[in-house]
Amino acid sequence: MKPLVVGNWKMNGTESEASALAREIRKRLKTIKGVEIVLAPPFTALTAVREVIRRSRLRMGAQDVHWEMEGAFTGEISPKMLREAGCGFVIIGHSERRRLFDESDPTVAKKVFAALRAGLRPILCVGETWEERRKGKTAQIIARQLRGALKGVGKSAIEKIEFAYEPVWAIGTGRNATADQVSEVHRWIRELLRAPAGDKRAERCRILYGGSVRPDNAGELAGVTEVNGLLVGGASLKAEDFLSIIRCFARNNK
């Protein structure tokens, strides 16, 4: 399975700043092989970044999407718009969306369904809060979020989804989950995918880890057997850091 590394730039980067960052990443990428790489800039920088990464191995994703293709939804961006802007991927259900913008499991499900229908690969985020982990509820929360998001998604479409385990307490806190914690939750996720996807397809799904990934811990996280890639926030804003994280997966480096 080819590893996937996603850079989630969040609300960082004007059009010109985002282009400069993408250019820097593209320039230094040459020697890295065997990893799929997705940049997720803010909406306003999508078309500029598309031009920078044209004819390169870099792919692009958006950070959110609406579930309708068009209509009276002031302020929203549709899957069809993202496709034309050059996106192949879209992050859905990020914990910042769930917590700060009240996104519920049914909303996440509608977005996943609409993205798939438009030919976008959803990067579906799930993860527990510290309080939930402390109370021993991690497995329950992950199961609820996954089942909720996959409602209505057909067996074969599940394979088109990239799954990301992102413990809320690890995002932007400098405190990443340990290799054991990550491996345990990733195994649960794969088990949970068996019923809706079937065994073979469940085996083929990529499960990424995200939450305070940095150059100094990426090697250990990438080394966890159950980790098929990383979703990187803060550290993806510096080309050098992002590339050293990607290098942890590169074939020529193993």
Q: Does residue number 162 form part of the binding site for ligand PGA (CB under 6 A)? A: no
Q: Does residue number 127 form part of the binding site for ligand PGA (CB under 6 A)? A: no
Distance of alpha carbon 66 from alpha carbon 241, whole angstroms: 31
Distance of alpha carbon 99 from alpha carbon 168, whole angstroms: 10
Contact residue for ligand PGA among 171, 193, 197, 218 (CB under 6 A): 171
**Interface stretch with ligand PGA, choices 65-73, 106-114, 137-145, 205-213 (CB under 6 A):** 205-213
Distance of alpha carbon 41 from alpha carbon 15, whole angstroms: 9
Is there a catalytic annotation at residue 94?
Answer: yes
Contact residue for ligand PGA among 63, 78, 107, 212 (CB under 6 A): 212
Whose Cβ is closer to ligand PGA: residue 50's or residue 98's? Answer: 98
Whose Cβ is closer to ligand PGA: residue 202's or residue 247's? Answer: 247
Q: Does residue number 63 form part of the binding site for ligand PGA (CB under 6 A)? A: no
Q: Does residue number 228 form part of the binding site for ligand PGA (CB under 6 A)? A: no
Q: Does residue number 36 form part of the binding site for ligand PGA (CB under 6 A)? A: no
Distance of alpha carbon 83 from alpha carbon 57, whole angstroms: 17
| 203, 190 contact by CB (below 8 A) | yes
What values do phi and psi take at 163, rounded to 5?
A: -100, 135
Closest CB 68 distance from ligand PGA, rounded Å? 25
For residue 27, which amino acid is it?
Answer: K
Selection from 43, 116, 123, 122 nearest residue 86 by Cα: 43
Distance of alpha carbon 127 from alpha carbon 167, whole angstroms: 4
Whose Cβ is closer to ligand PGA: residue 67's or residue 209's? Answer: 209
Active-site residues: which are they?
94, 166
Residues that bind ligand PGA (CB under 6 A): 8, 166, 171-172, 210-213, 231-235
